[in-house]
Amino acid sequence: MFERPIRSINGFAGLIGVAFLGLLILANAGSIDEDKEESPVVHVLMIILFSIGAVCLISGLRIINPNEAMVATFFGSYRGVLRTPGFRMIAPFQRTYNVSLRLQNFESPTVKVNDKGGCPVDVRAVIVWRVIDAAQATFHVFFDTFHIRKMFVSFF
């Protein structure tokens, strides 16, 4: 599985869409009593329809911090990775997982090993790493810090 970018738009455009749908909801709610010749059922159905549309738009809004990525899935299917920092809008109903792209470190405990001659040696290490491919880090490794610890222990 390789990382592929996901399409997104500016989140403020999505907020404008939500505000527009909110105005339509208020306009339909206010005109229920004014139109005596028209059935109020039509206005209620329009309010429900616009409310569902607003919920769909709100579910696609995401905030991505700098040096962070979001891996998106749609009903368990991998859709892509969003790396653009800021307030973004993706397709509705996608589940996202945050992945830190910052440098991380792990300071190992002291491990006693024997060298080739049988002399005991104390070994400590500081391991510094960074996630390069957010999709592989999400789907192929359970927990990256735990994985680094296990790799260090298995090395010695």
DSSP letters along 69-90, please? EEEEEETTEEEEEE---EEEE-
Of residues 106 and 83, more confidence is placed in 83
pLDDT of residue 94: 92
Separation CA 26–CA 82 (nearest Å): 34
Distances (CA, A) of 122 to 92, 108, 109, 125, 132: 53, 12, 10, 10, 32
- What's the pLDDT at 37? 67
Q: How confident is the model at residue 16 (pLDDT cuts 50, 70, 90)?
A: very high
Alpha-carbon span 156 to 113, nearest angstrom? 7
Greatest mean pLDDT range, 11-15, 23-27, 33-37, 123-127 = 11-15
For residue 91, give every residue at least 6 positions away whose Cβ sits within 8 Å of its Cβ, in sequence order, or none. Answer: 7, 60, 74, 79
d(CA 3, CA 133): 6
pLDDT at position 87 is 95
**Residue 50's CB: how many other CB atoms inside 10 A?**
20
Label residue 8 exposed, middle or buried (CB < 10 Å: 0-12, 13-18, 19+). Answer: buried
- Which residue has better confidence, 156 or 83? 83
How much is the pLDDT for 109? 81
What integer pLDDT is reported at residue 107 of this predicted model?
83
Residue 2 and residue 81: Cα distance in Å, rounded?
10
Q: 81 near 101, Cβ under 8 Å? A: no
Residue with the larger pLDDT of the pair 140 and 34 = 140
